[in-house]
Amino acid sequence: MSKLIIAFLQLALIFIPFCNLISQWNISADFNGGAVNSIISNGNDMYAGTSGQGVFRSGDSGLNWINVSSGLGSSTFVQSLAAEGDHIYAGTSSGGFFYSVNKGNDWIQSNQGISQQNIKTMITDGDTVYAGCIFAGVFRSVNNGLNWSRFALGEGDLLYALLKNESNFLIGLYGGIYRSTNNGINWFISQTGITNNNLRCFVQQGNEIYCGTYGGGVFVTLNNGDVWTSKSSGLQDMRIQALSSDGMNLFAGTAGKGIHYMNNSGNWIPVNQGINDSNITSIALKDKYIFAATASGKVWKRLKSEIITNINISSSLISADFRLYQNYPNPFNPATSITFYIPENTNASLKVFDALGKEISVIFNGKILEGKHTKIWNADNFPAGVYFCRLESENYSETIKLMLIK
């Protein structure tokens, strides 16, 4: 490496912390008391649901906010917000479900068919709305909230989070994850690999689903919930209250250590320069900005590029080694997650061998991009016993021991 390149890297390492000092969070709104429980983006507008002051709206990327709570009456403790086109939805702690078709200027209460009016979380899918009641399971409306019917679970389940994709529906509870693969006809527990069952939030990024737990950090699944793997390296607080993704970048909000960003090596980095709130309740990504809502009633705003560019440049200067991590879970039955880090674009293979050294499974073999990767090995067709997994490239080889139990 030339002296010029070395000098440049040294200068970059000095300059990056300086950038983080001058690039920081700024207050977008201070609603003076009561938590901001939910913040969402819909078209040109942002919406914030508060504990006691109803709903606020911003039409200029958080520069100005106005209260839009007409029709909520005394139901101003808003726990959740969702939106689909012209329809804005609000879930309250005592008044149930409200909807608006004019950007929140007027709200209409609509609880026909809902057995409990304490709505903790909501998601939408076209004209269909799902409302998760904190102690009464999930209800579904197929007509934008006009009428409701029970979709899943029953009375008494402490519910926090919902996620729906093309093939699965996930419900996060204090107690674990319920999953349906047939649109709610049947449900089963789907939390293999999760070591803390106090589920608080979900987010999907590509083919990966992340869940946040209150006390156990973050877990990820690459197979819609069959197996989960811990993804908490670098977290300063394992109490995760919010997860948000724009499809490429992932952010986590914690109960006591602010906001973390997952860098391109798969590690969490705290990104709290300028913010003096540590209890993050909700995160929204809009255009080039990230918004963070807090338990003290504030909304903070920052350019995403300030975080992403600085963190990823810094990470690329630090990360330089191949690494094969121990599989998880281990022992396992029948599937396990195997994570490895590749410091450069290269050809590599990930293979499994039996105790006699015979190759029995090729998990991956081919060209792979720089970065952290996770692969799943399903050993359903193999007998219980000791196996070995080897990551190999032209200049690197490492092996770990796997223990299959049945």
The CB density around residue 132, as the number of other CB atoms within 10 Å, is 28
DSSP state letters, 315-372: HHHH----EEPPPBSSSBSSEEEEEEEESSSEEEEEEEE-TTS-EEEEEEEEEE-SEE
DSSP state letters, 163-229: EE-SS-EEEEEBTEEEEESSTTSS-EE--TT-S--BEEEEEEETTEEEEEEBTTEEEEESSTTSS-E
Q: How far apart are CA 78 and CA 403, in angstroms?
A: 48
Question: Is it true that 25-317 and 323-404 share their CATH fold?
Answer: no
At residue 171 the predicted structure's pLDDT band, cuts being 50, 70 and 90, is very high
pLDDT at 309 over 80: no
What is residue 7's predicted lDDT score, i.e. its pLDDT?
A: 43
Please answer whether residues 82 and 89 qualify as being in contact, where contact means their C-beta atoms are separated by less than 8 angstroms: yes
* The residue type at 155: E
Please answer whether residues 19 and 3 qualify as being in contact, where contact means their C-beta atoms are separated by less than 8 angstroms: no
Q: How far apart are CA 149 and CA 151, in angstroms?
A: 6
Nearest to 78 by CA among 117, 135, 29: 117
Domain 25-317, CATH among 3.40.228.10, 3.30.2320.50, 2.130.10.10, 3.40.1160.10 = 2.130.10.10
Please state whether the peptide bond connecting residue 343 to the residue before it is cis, i.e. omega within 30 degrees of 0: no
What is residue 16's predicted lDDT score, i.e. its pLDDT?
A: 41
Tens digits of residue pLDDT in 3-61: 444 344 444 443 444 344 345 899 999 998 789 999 999 999 999 999 999 999 999 99
The CB density around residue 251, as the number of other CB atoms within 10 Å, is 24
Write out the CATH class of domain 323-404.
mainly beta
Residue 243, classed as helix, strand or coil, is strand
The CB density around residue 363, as the number of other CB atoms within 10 Å, is 15
Q: CA 339 from chain center: how many Å?
A: 19
Please answer whether residues 199 and 211 qualify as being in contact, where contact means their C-beta atoms are separated by less than 8 angstroms: yes
Q: How far apart are CA 317 and CA 360, in angstroms?
A: 37
Report in angstroms the alpha-carbon separations of 120 from 93, 159, 172, 190, 219.
Answer: 7, 7, 11, 21, 22
Please answer whether residues 224 and 164 qualify as being in contact, where contact means their C-beta atoms are separated by less than 8 angstroms: no
Mean pLDDT of the chain: 89
How much is the average pLDDT of 159-168?
A: 94
* CA dihedral angle for residue 377, residue 169, residue 155, residue 199, rounded to 10 degrees: 50
How much is the average pLDDT of 101-119?
A: 96
Q: How far apart are CA 85 and CA 44, in angstroms?
A: 11
pTM above 0.85, yes or no: no
At residue 396 the predicted structure's pLDDT band, cuts being 50, 70 and 90, is confident
The CB density around residue 22, as the number of other CB atoms within 10 Å, is 9
- Stated length of the chain: 406
**Domain-wise residue ranges, the chain:** 25-317, 323-404
The residue to which tokens 């000092």 are assigned: 21
Share of the chain above pLDDT 70, in %: 91
The CB density around residue 362, as the number of other CB atoms within 10 Å, is 11
DSSP state letters, 11-54: HHHHHHHHHHHHS--EEEEE-SSS-EEEEEEETTEEEEEEBSS-
Q: What is the largest CA-CA distance in the chain?
A: 72
Tens digits of residue pLDDT in 67-91: 999 999 999 999 999 999 999 999 9
Buried b (16+ CB within 10 A) or exposed e, 169-194: bbbbbeebbbbbeeebeeeeebbbbb
Tens digits of residue pLDDT in 249-259: 899 999 999 99
How much is the average pLDDT of 269-278?
A: 91
What is residue 236's predicted lDDT score, i.e. its pLDDT?
A: 94
